[in-house]
Amino acid sequence: MMAGKVNSTGWLLACSLSLGLLWSGLSAAAVVLQYHHVSDETPASTSTPVALFRRHLEILAEQGYQVVPLPELLQRYADTPTQRLRQVAITFDDGYLSVYTEAFPALQKRGWPFTVFVNTRPIDERWHEFVSWEQLREMAEQGATIANHTVDHAHMIRLRQGESRAQWRQRITTDVLQAEMRIETETGQSHRILAYPYGEYDLHLVALLKSLKFVGFGQHSGPLGTSHSPQALPRFPFGGVYGAPENFVVKAGSLPLPVKRLGRDGQWSRGDLEPVLETGNFRPSLMLELAGSVPANRVHCFASGQDGLRTEVSGQRITVHLSADLPLGRSRINCTAAADDGRFYWYSQPFFRADHNGDWPPE
């Protein structure tokens, strides 16, 4: 039996417009949590142990968080970007079976909604480590949002051998819309919300999703805020070493660093920064201009695998200089500042790099 039809296209058009207008200088406490496996037996780098996941839920309950559906969180944020309201959405990438066997019962006991971003091919082909459409419909009937993670979890930013940009655009468009169609056919839901596989995106992909009227989520950390467009939204990942309870408390309660303007390598941007590094520039400098609510000299920045970053502050402008080239693959620069109430302001900028020949590392 199919779950009740939910089509958010009309909402999304209005929400995307509202987000575009309101993504300026306002600070809200809206955090999206990201998980993959909830299991003690799956690969550690993408897994959250069952007991730890349940502890995360206990913390949310103890500290009075509102756990809301992801589409509703986006709508609330667009309508009323309130600074101190504690609200989160819980998301799972890929649609692994442990979401159904472990996470779903724990969330169901609390009556809390959640989102599953699914790759449709493994479900269509009934891969044993993934949920089935029947299980997804069961979760949807209990309030789960089923959303898009593409057909087969490919690296969306990578061009194939000999592929033109126009051919890439057609291929990615077909993939995204095919996955959305399968989700709607099987569950009755179509929210036009996509989680990028591996959290990877570039400005070509941002523009494509915008043209398709999709919201896009990465895997760079941080709360929803002023510094990312609706096609480059952050989430806090909690797999591997990132889920310790003391860290979870800080991240779930974080506030967006009030970034007015972003730049890179001496040039200010009119929107999202290009996260894909061009050959020969693997050591980008990050530029932030902050609103006056957070003094720039209180901000501390960190880069993946690097110590000794050099930070220049001039008024409310910050320039972060790396001490070494960023490694192959995926990296982030995170900037934080203590808030007066003990919470932390947070901003994260992802970067993705190939090698000197333009070749990407194998997964």
Of the candidates 256, 271, 287, which is a domain's last residue? 256
Residue 26: pLDDT above 70?
no
Q: Assess if residue 1 is contained within a domain.
A: no
- Asked if the structure places residue 143 within a domain, the reply is yes
pTM of the predicted model as reported, rounded to 2 decimal places: 0.93
Rounded Cα gap, residues 249 and 246, in angstroms: 5
CA atoms within 13 A on the CB side of 2: 11
Q: How many domains does the chain have?
A: 2
Residues 94 and 230 in one domain: yes
Distance CA(201)–CA(235), nearest Å, equals 14
Tell me which amino acid residue 175 is: D
Specify whether the CB–CB gap between 337 and 257 falls below 8 A: yes
**Of 256, 279, 297, which marks where a domain is finished?**
256
DSSP conformation class of 228: S
Do 166 and 47 share a domain, yes or no?
A: yes
Q: Which of 126, 116, 121, 124 is nearest to 150 (CA)?
A: 121
Q: How far apart are CA 222 and CA 233, in angstroms?
A: 9
Range of the domain at 166: 6-256
Q: Does 272 share its domain with 203?
A: no
Q: Percent of the chain at pLDDT above 90?
A: 80
- pLDDT given at position 359: 87
Cα–Cα distance measured from residue 198 to residue 175, given in angstroms and rounded to the nearest whole number: 16
Predicted confidence (pLDDT) at residue 29 exceeds the cutoff of 60: yes
Residues 118 and 99 in one domain: yes
Per residue in 199-243, pLDDT tens? 999 999 999 999 999 999 999 999 998 788 999 999 999 998 899
β-partners of residue 233 are: 217
Average pLDDT for residues 33-47, to the nearest whole number? Answer: 96
Residue 246 has pLDDT above 90, yes or no: yes
- In the prediction, which pLDDT does 19 show? 44
d(C-alpha 194, C-alpha 208), whole Å: 12
Residues 98 and 203 reside in one and the same domain: yes
278 and 244 within one domain? no
**pLDDT at residue 9, as a whole number:** 45
| Side-chain-side CA neighbours of residue 5 (13 Å) | 5
Contacts of 248 (CB under 8 A, 6+ apart): 55, 56, 59, 238
The rounded distance, in Å, linking the Cα atoms of 181 and 195 is: 16
CA distances from residue 251 to 23, 24, 38, 244, 325 in whole angstroms, order as listed: 21, 22, 19, 11, 27
Report the C-alpha gap between 289 and 284 in whole angstroms.
17
Q: Which of these ranges, 39-53, 82-96, 164-178, 327-341, has the smallest mean pLDDT? A: 82-96
Distances (CA, A) of 335 to 169, 247, 269, 286, 302: 33, 15, 18, 10, 6
* Residue 134 pLDDT exceeds 50: yes
Query: What is the C-alpha to C-alpha distance for residues 119 and 336, in angstroms, rounded to an integer?
Result: 33
Phi and psi of 331, rounded to 5°?
A: -140, 170
**289 in Cβ contact with 314 (< 8 Å):** no
| CATH assignment at residue 124 | 3.20.20.370
Q: Is the pLDDT of residue 24 over 50?
A: no
pLDDT band at 16 (very low <50, low <70, confident <90, very high): very low
- Tell me whether residue 180 is in a domain: yes
Same domain, 334 and 312: yes
- Determine how many CB atoms are found less than 10 A away from the CB of residue 223: 29
123 and 267 part of one domain? no
pLDDT at residue 80 is higher than 90: no
Helices of type H across the chain: 9-22, 50-62, 70-79, 97-98, 104-110, 120-124, 133-141, 165-187, 203-211, 245-252
Same domain, 37 and 63: yes
| CA-to-CA dists, residue 181 to 78, 125, 148, 248, 335, angstroms | 26, 16, 10, 35, 38
pLDDT tens digits, one per residue of 114-127:
999 999 999 999 99
